[in-house]
């Protein structure tokens, strides 16, 4: 469990970092909670590693005009505990608290997790439910991609070569909203066997808005659009949950076969929705 040799650079500025990333076979170290284990296993053997840990301006959480901006190098712990996230996007804070364990949350970063796009990662579910925008930057340009257009396949995102995640913009949740992240963690790895992020806005007894992000179940996280519609059209939680995963090919592994995983996703979707509805005012 010893990584192969590599060259290491730790740029101080974004410009410097983007210049380095623009050329060559370079891996980006953004915390390293996924990359370093892969390097130790020698499943990843990059020749050069660019550590974003010292780039100024990539770290921080702020709220401005109803949008919460979170720098790519912000740790899960910061997102879990920040007053800004807890006040304005509590779903994301709650989700962050489910990632790995305390030590992992102290080091792992939002940008790293999003760019790695593990099919069982927690954030994507919440980012989809929150309709977050992921801002990407390269030496040439900056662009913003909706979360729903960002996660394309297992470990595959809209990131182009030379691009990095700059920050994630989350529209602030309405104070009246209810939210919940329901996760079935794998007992060994802690990865999401399934994870459901739900947001609910009520209008009296009617559900005015439902947003449901699902992770762990398919090759990449997705929005359960049909379920959202069921709820917004006055359908029951049970009916909504029963549509989650329709048309998806569920992942299958030793812990959860495809049919069990699909079932879990539906059960936990119902539970997440129930919690979100109970929290909505």
Partner 1 sequence: MKISGVYTLNVPQERAYALLQDPAILAKCMPGCEGLDRIAENQYAMRMKMVLASISGLFAGKVTIADPNPPTGYRLIVEGSGKIGFMKGDGVLMLSPAGSGATVHFEGDVQVGGTIASVGQRLLDTTSRMLIKRFFTRLAAESAQAGVERVAAD
Partner 2 sequence: MATTISKPATLVGKGIRRQEDPRLITGTAVYVDDIKMPGMHHAAIVRSPHAAARIAGINTEAALAHPGVVAVFTGADVKNLGAVPCASSLPGLRVPHHHLLAQDRVYYTGHPVAVVVATDRYVAADAASLVEVQYDPQPAVADPEKALAAGAPAVHPQWPDNTSFTFHQEGGDTGQAFRDAEIVVKQRITSQRLIPTSIETRGVVAEWRPGEKSLTMFTSTQIPHLVRTLVAGILGMPENHLRVITPEVGGGFGSKLNVYAEEALMCYIAKEIGKPVKWVESRRENFQATIHGRGHVDYYELAAKRDGTMLGLKLKLIQDLGAYHQLLTPAIPTLSVLMMPGLYKFKSISADIIGVFTNCVPTDAYRGAGRPEATHGIERMVDILAAELHMDPAEIRFKNFVGKDEFPYATTTGLFYDSGNYALPLQNAMAQVDYAGLRQEQATARAAGKLMGIGLSTYGEICAIGPSAAMPAGGWESATVKIEPSGKVTVMTGASPHGQGEETTFAQIVADELGVDIDDVMVVHGDTAVVQYGIGTFGSRGTAVGGAALFYALQELKAKIKKFGAMLLGSDNVSLVGGSCVDDATGKSVSFAEMAVAAYHAKTLPPNTQPGLVATYFWEPPNFTFPFGAHIVVTDVDRETGRISIRRYVAVDDCGKIINPLLVAGQVHGGVAQGLGQALWEEAVYDEQGQLITGELTDYALPKASFMPLIESSHTETPSPVNPLGVKGVGEAGTIGCSPAVVNSVVDALSPLGVRHIDMPLTPQKIWKLIVQSGGLS
Partner 3 sequence: MKRKISLTINGKSYTDEVEPRLLLIHYLREVAGLTGPHIGCETSICGACTVMLDGRTVKSCTMFAVQADGRQILTIEGLAADGKLDPVQEAFWNEHGLQCGFCTPGMILSSKQLLEDNPNPTDQEIRHGLEGNLCRCTGYQHIVNAVRAAAKAGA
**CA gap 35, 44 in Å, rounded:** 7
CB of 97 to partner 3, least distance (A): 9
DSSP helix/strand/coil, 80: helix
Of 110, 101, 99, 115, the C-alpha closest to 73 is: 110
> Which residues fall within 8 angstroms of residue 271, CB to CB, at 6 or more apart?
180, 182, 196
Comparing CB distances to partner 2, the nearer of 202 and 261 is 261
> Across the chain, where does the E strand assignment appear?
7-9, 26-29, 48-51, 61-64, 67-71, 133-137, 142-146, 151-153, 156-157, 164-171, 178-185, 192-203, 206-215, 222-223
Footprint on this chain of partner 1 (rule: CB under 8 A): 27, 34-35, 38, 41-46, 116-117, 119-120, 153-156, 186, 189, 191, 218-219, 249, 251-255, 258
Return the residues of window 82-111 that contact partner 3 according to CB under 8 A.
100-104, 106-107
Name the residue nearer to partner 3 (CB basis): 34 or 180: 34
The reply to whether 253 sits near partner 3 by the rule CB under 8 A is no
Distance between CA atoms of 75 and 79, rounded to whole angstroms? 6
Q: Are 179 and 130 in contact (CB under 8 A)?
A: no
Instruction: By CB under 8 A, name the one of 44, 190, 226, 235 that touches partner 3.
Output: 190
Contacts for 37 with CB less than 8 Å, ≥ 6 apart: none
Query: How crowded is the C-beta side of 153, counted as CA atoms within 13 Å?
Result: 1
CB of 223 to partner 1, least distance (A): 19
Q: Which of 43, 64, 175, 188 binds partner 3 (CB under 8 A)?
A: 188
The partner in contact with residue 264, picked from partner 1, partner 3, partner 2, none with C-beta cut-offs of 5 to 8 angstroms by kind, is partner 2
Which H or E element spans position 14? helix 14-22
Contact between 281 and partner 2 by CB under 8 A: the answer reads: no
Residue 45 contacts which entry, partner 3, partner 2, partner 1, none (Cβ below 5-8 A, type-dependent): partner 1
Binding residues for partner 3 restricted to 18-77, rule: CB under 8 A:
29, 32-33, 36-37, 39-40, 49, 51, 53, 77
| Residue 10 interacting partner from partner 3, partner 1, partner 2, none (CB closer than 5 to 8 Å by kind) | partner 3
Q: Which does residue 106 bind out of partner 2, partner 3, partner 1, none, counting CB within 5 to 8 angstroms by kind? A: partner 3
Q: Does 55 bind partner 2 (CB under 8 A)?
A: no
Q: Work out which of 6, 155, 255, 260 binds partner 3, going by CB under 8 A.
A: 6
């Amino acid at each position: 469990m010893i990584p192969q040799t590599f060259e290491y650079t730790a740029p101080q500025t974004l410009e410097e970092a983007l210049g380095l990333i623009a050329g060559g076979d370079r891996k980006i170290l953004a915390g390293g909670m996924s990359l370093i284990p892969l390097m130790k296993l020698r499943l990843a053997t990059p020749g050069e590693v660019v550590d974003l840990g010292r780039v100024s301006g990539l770290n921080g959480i702020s709220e401005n005009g109803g949008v919460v901006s979170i720098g790519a190098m912000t740790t899960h712990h910061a997102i879990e505990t920040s007053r800004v996230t807890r006040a304005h996007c509590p779903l994301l804070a709650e989700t962050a608290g489910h990632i790995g364990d305390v030590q992992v949350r102290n080091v792992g970063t939002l940008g790293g997790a999003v760019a790695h796009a593990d099919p069982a990662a927690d954030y994507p579910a919440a980012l989809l439910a929150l309709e977050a925008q992921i801002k990407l930057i390269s030496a040439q340009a900056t662009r913003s991609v909706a979360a729903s257009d960002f996660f394309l396949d297992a470990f595959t995102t809209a990131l182009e070569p030379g691009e990095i995640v700059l920050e994630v913009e989350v529209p602030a949740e309405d104070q009246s909203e209810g939210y919940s992240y329901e996760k079935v963690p794998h007992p060994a790895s802690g990865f999401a066997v399934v994870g459901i992020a739900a947001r609910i806005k009520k209008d009296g007894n009617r559900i005015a808005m439902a947003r449901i992000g699902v992770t762990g179940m398919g090759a990449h996280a997705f929005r359960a659009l049909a379920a959202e519609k069921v709820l917004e059209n006055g359908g029951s939680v049970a009916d909504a949950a029963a549509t989650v995963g329709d048309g998806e090919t569920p992942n299958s592994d030793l812990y959860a076969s495809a049919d069990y995983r699909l079932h879990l996703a539906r059960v936990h979707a119902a539970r997440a929705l129930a919690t979100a509805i109970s929290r909505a005012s």
